[in-house]
Structure 1
Amino acid sequence: MGQIIMLLPLGVPILGTLLITNKKIIKDEYVTKFVAGVLIVNFLLVLNALFGNQMLQIHVLKVNDFLDIYFKIDQMTRVFSLLASVLWILTAFYAFEYMKHEQRTRQFYTFFTMTLAVILGVAYSGNLFTLYAYYELLTLCTLPLVIHTGTEEALASGKKYMIYSFAGASLVILGMMILYSITGTMTFTPRGIFNDIEGYDQNLIRFSYIAMFLGFGVKAALVPFHSWLPNAMVAPTPVSALLHAVAVVKSGVFSLIRITYFIFGASMIKAVDVTKYLIPFVVITVVMGSLLALHQDHLKKRLAYSTISQLGYILLGILMLNPNGLIGAILHMINHAVIKITLFFAVGSISHMTHKKYIHQISGLGKKMPITFICFTIAAVSLVGIPPTNGFVSKWFLGVGALNANNLFYIFILLLSAFFTAGYLFPVSVTAFFVNEKPNLEVQEEATLSDSLEPSPFMLFPIVILTVIIIGLGIFPNAVINFLGGVVADAF
């Protein structure tokens, strides 16, 4: 029974997916209600499996020590599973209104629900092979969401996304084979699988880690493997929000935390002195993402390049190889997810209600969408790292981690990027609230404007809830920080 309870969160979304595809069982008018029910029930199952179940590991299918589907619950599993489950529910309610006028909504909800099962599979993975299998499935499940609109631009973006993802996965499998040839095991183990640092070929270990870091770094939008991400903005806003908050980029980050601290271990990575090869990629990611965001007039693309920069923060925290750096990295994984999904929901609401997609078009719109733009502004303040928001907390720990690493250059990069972040986000709010609406609007566009353009409660409620979470996690961060203490204990 314990095994069944543990695996239910992985199976219920798959069952839900199969039922959604059958029009005779789930009629069109009940699809959204069914999806909501599946996600809420699955969230409760996740809570029960993570906190109320003693069955913490299970081998589902083991052919040999390499081909082993193995699930295990630890503190990192809990962090990622809860993050995904909560944000999936909020995204679903947002999508129920947003997708009303879109085509192929049943197909959208099919892959939307299936992707949750895959994400939870990533979180539950107890070894590198299982993680890799779900990592590959993630590409296949999210591809139909990226190309959902079916336009030529969407198909081209989907092709690029697929090529980049499979190229990264090839690097991962190369690193895995080298690792397995050295150690004979790929099970996630606290402080890594290497007990004797001196007893291994350090060049092979170094090459294996670099290959996997770059491979998983593709989904984490590591420069120069980042360009698929802005192109994926052709997808509907709920998809864009999930891509940037949980589904793809955070799976890449989660995987990098897994291999760094639960496969190789901080001690081994320090011993082989591998970070000096990877830090330049990360620093360029942080700075380049910010600079590219500054030059984007398209709202969603500005947020896309912002994501690239913020992911660089997380990767930097991972490579600091100290407890505060790791706490900062995981906190920013959580906080950035909440912040960025809020920003995307706000931008999606603007586009949905006014068909405006560019910054120069939103002059004075803050007076007609005050709640939306206030939430956007709070999220922007948090992303810059200003208290009392959650973004400040995670960046504080990243800064302390940089000091623990005796590297003032990291501090400089973090401060420089924060300055750029303010430069590309604050003008959006200033334009909306303080720049008067241009008088020479087209008649048709003028006719669509009313005193209030706030979206329906289905779209507005998730935005407000997420904004409250942003402030709440900033004022009361200790619960999350204490929860992450278990991860740090396993990692060090």
Structure 2
Amino acid sequence: MKNFTIIIPILFPFILAIIMATIKLDEKKRNIFVSIGVILNLIFLVTVFYMFGQSTLHLLKINEFLDIYFKIDKLSILFSLLVAILWIFTAFYAMEYMKHEGKERRFYTFFLATLGVTMGIAFSGNLITLYAFYEFLTLSTFPLVIHTGSKQALKSGKKYLIYSFIGATMVLLGMVLLFSVTKNTTFNARGILPALTNDNRNRYIVSYIAMFLGFGVKAALVPFHSWLPAAMVAPTPVSALLHAVAVVKSGIFAIMRMSYFIFGTEIIKALHVNIFLSILIVISILLGSFLALHQENLKKRLAYSTISQLGYVLLGVVLLNKDAFAGSLLHLINHAVIKIVLFFCVGAIMYTTGKTDISQIRGIGKQMPITMGCFGIAAISLIGIPPSNGFVSKWYLAQGGLTEGKMIFPAILLISALLTALYLLPIVTEAFFKKGEDTVVKEAPMKMLIPIVMITIIIVLLGIFPNMLITFVQKIASEVI
């Protein structure tokens, strides 16, 4: 019974989603139901970690390949806590925002189901379990992407499905090739692969690249990135989840699992595949930043920014040293909280004023000082100006590059930081330092404003007091490298 308890944080959101889909609730009851549900799920999660620690569960084993297996370790604890906490903030934000989007019942059904799926990804103990939940993630988020039902939304949803299924096919190819050699796909620190030989070398290379690129689709790795800006037609709470936790970070998490818990650093270094992949990652970092510079639409500018910032996290993965991986994990967390604030602030502007472009928000900082003040703090953090949390993670990533003796990587991080300043600071200056229209604009409602302010406080605290998080991610890095 003890082992079955560990999957409560996965099952509970699905139960909530089924209830939401089958029982019609008025707005007040629905909001209470959702808020209590997501808070309870965090409580269940923390309770499982406290009572059972690092546990395992074989739920269904047909053979060595088809084995639904769950495992809690430090990496799953880190990722699942990030998901559960940000889901709560998003739920409260959405209660107000979704009023003008409509179809709230359908939205919350898939919103809750996606929480369960993402928890399943966090708790997956082998590749086949991770792959199954990874596919469910596509299916549960698709209705959220096409929520508005417009022609553009349906077109973007189709693109999202096509890219996701292409990525899934590549991952499946890699898994089959890998299993033909290992007969095992269970996650284990430092990897599970037999020693490298001439017979298995090519299979390892094709398998790793196929899975990296396949999972890289959801991580918006160039050239598989274009679905992400297209998905900006979704409501802002969906955009925030896509960019902060649910989809793109699941892709990153899967790459971390596959790299460090299946292949291991020694095999990857021997295969030299990280060199090829680092080129794609650098292109993602720079291209995302350059494309962001040319976007007038606020959400699309943030979307291309995400492509660039995810490249930072992936760079830390392929550098294959402790500092770089610690920086990667730190940026996984820091980017999540920063980007969700940026999207929430843009959503607040859209909700209050209906404005979507940078040129339309002149002078809005004086009318919405809390919203734009939080946006400014998040922007400074994403640029990486000390003592922000963004600086902390970028410092470790730069250290990782120097450890490998490659000055080019810290240089690329500096160039990207400059580009980040060039595409984010003009939004702040337009809002605070340029005269706008004389129309009266009020701050967003409290249900939207409180999550924005609270996560901004978390951003500041992670910058000023990063030691606890640094210590935890360094323990993860030490276990796998």
Give the TM-score band, short-chain normalised: over 0.9
1:235 corresponds to which residue? 234
Which runs of at least 4 in structure 1 moved beyond 4 Å after TM superposition?
none
1:15 corresponds to which residue? 15
Q: Distance in 2 between matches of 1:163 and 1:479?
A: 41
1:30 corresponds to which residue? 29
1:367 corresponds to which residue? 366
| Residues 199 and 191 (structure 1), Cα distance of their counterparts in 2 relative to 1, 3 Å cut | farther
1:463 corresponds to which residue? 452
Question: Would the aligned equivalents of 2:38 and 2:84 in 1 still touch at CA under 8 Å?
Answer: yes
Q: Distance in 1 between matches of 2:53 and 2:236?
A: 39
TM-fit CA distance, 1:227 = 0.2
1:443 corresponds to which residue? none
Residues 82-97 of structure 1 correspond to what in structure 2 (within 5 A)? 82-97=81-96
Question: Would the aligned equivalents of 1:368 and 1:454 in 2 still touch at CA under 8 Å?
Answer: yes
1:332 corresponds to which residue? 331
Paired residue type of 1:481: I
1:3 corresponds to which residue? 3
TM-fit CA distance, 1:346 = 0.3
Q: Distance in 2 between matches of 1:32 and 1:51?
A: 29
SS where residue 6 of structure 2 aligns? helix
Paired residue type of 2:69: Y
1:295-342 Cα deviation digits (max 9, x unpaired): 001000000000000001111110000000000011101000000000
1:228-247 Cα deviation digits (max 9, x unpaired): 00000000000000000001
Q: Distance in 1 between matches of 2:45 and 2:429?
A: 41
Q: Distance in 2 between matches of 1:484 and 1:54?
A: 17
Question: Would the aligned equivalents of 1:294 and 1:423 in 2 still touch at CA under 8 Å?
Answer: yes
2:462 corresponds to which residue? 473
| Residues 199 and 125 (structure 1), Cα distance of their counterparts in 2 relative to 1, 3 Å cut | farther
TM-fit CA distance, 1:50 = 1.9
Q: Distance in 2 between matches of 1:231 and 1:199?
A: 43
Paired residue type of 1:457: M
1:146-187 Cα deviation digits (max 9, x unpaired): 000000000000000000000000000000000000111000
Question: Would the aligned equivalents of 1:297 and 1:358 in 2 still touch at CA under 8 Å?
Answer: yes
TM-fit CA distance, 1:54 = 4.7
SS where residue 70 of structure 1 aligns? strand
Q: Distance in 2 between matches of 1:103 and 1:360?
A: 28
Residues 140-219 of structure 1 correspond to what in structure 2 (within 5 A)? 140-198=139-197, 201-219=200-218
1:418-458 Cα deviation digits (max 9, x unpaired): 0000000000000000011157xxxxxx3xx24xx111111
2:132 corresponds to which residue? 133
1:430 corresponds to which residue? 429
Residues 61-140 of structure 1 correspond to what in structure 2 (within 5 A)? 61-140=60-139
SS where residue 71 of structure 1 aligns? strand
Q: Distance in 2 between matches of 1:475 and 1:155?
A: 43
Q: Distance in 2 between matches of 1:314 and 1:488?
A: 14
Question: Would the aligned equivalents of 1:223 and 1:284 in 2 still touch at CA under 8 Å?
Answer: yes
Q: Distance in 1 between matches of 2:83 and 2:199?
A: 37
Question: Would the aligned equivalents of 2:4 and 2:57 in 1 still touch at CA under 8 Å?
Answer: no
SS where residue 226 of structure 1 aligns? coil
Q: Distance in 2 between matches of 1:6 and 1:124?
A: 9
Question: Would the aligned equivalents of 2:182 and 2:194 in 1 still touch at CA under 8 Å?
Answer: no
1:19-56 Cα deviation digits (max 9, x unpaired): 111235x4454111101111000000010112321570
RMSD of equivalent CA atoms: 1.1
1:489 corresponds to which residue? 478
Paired residue type of 1:287: L
1:390 corresponds to which residue? 389
Question: Would the aligned equivalents of 1:3 and 1:55 in 2 still touch at CA under 8 Å?
Answer: no
Residues 256-295 of structure 1 correspond to what in structure 2 (within 5 A)? 256-295=255-294
1:375-416 Cα deviation digits (max 9, x unpaired): 000000000001111100000000000000111111111010
TM-fit CA distance, 1:291 = 0.2
Q: Distance in 2 between matches of 1:472 and 1:55?
A: 28
TM-fit CA distance, 1:199 = 7.4
TM-fit CA distance, 1:7 = 1.2
Question: Would the aligned equivalents of 1:182 and 1:200 in 2 still touch at CA under 8 Å?
Answer: no
Paired residue type of 2:347: G
Question: Would the aligned equivalents of 1:318 and 1:326 in 2 still touch at CA under 8 Å?
Answer: yes
Percent of aligned positions that are identical: 54
Question: Would the aligned equivalents of 2:326 and 2:396 in 1 still touch at CA under 8 Å?
Answer: yes
Q: Distance in 2 between matches of 1:438 and 1:39?
A: 40
Greater shift, 153-162 or 93-102, is seen at 93-102
Q: Give aligned pairs, total.
A: 481
| Residues 402 and 179 (structure 1), Cα distance of their counterparts in 2 relative to 1, 3 Å cut | same
TM-fit CA distance, 1:279 = 1.3
1:259-316 Cα deviation digits (max 9, x unpaired): 0100000000001111122111101100000000000010000000000000011111
Q: Which runs of 5+ in 2 are unaligned?
A: none
Q: Distance in 1 between matches of 2:85 and 2:199?
A: 42
SS where residue 372 of structure 1 aligns? helix
Q: Distance in 2 between matches of 1:27 and 1:103?
A: 13
Question: Would the aligned equivalents of 1:2 and 1:55 in 2 still touch at CA under 8 Å?
Answer: no
Q: Distance in 2 between matches of 1:255 and 1:297?
A: 33
Q: Distance in 2 between matches of 1:421 and 1:152?
A: 32
1:221 corresponds to which residue? 220
Question: Would the aligned equivalents of 2:302 and 2:343 in 1 still touch at CA under 8 Å?
Answer: yes
1:380 corresponds to which residue? 379
Question: Would the aligned equivalents of 1:282 and 1:312 in 2 still touch at CA under 8 Å?
Answer: yes
Question: Would the aligned equivalents of 1:2 and 1:54 in 2 still touch at CA under 8 Å?
Answer: no
Q: Which runs of 5+ in 1 are unaligned?
A: 440-445
| Residues 292 and 413 (structure 1), Cα distance of their counterparts in 2 relative to 1, 3 Å cut | same
SS where residue 191 of structure 1 aligns? coil
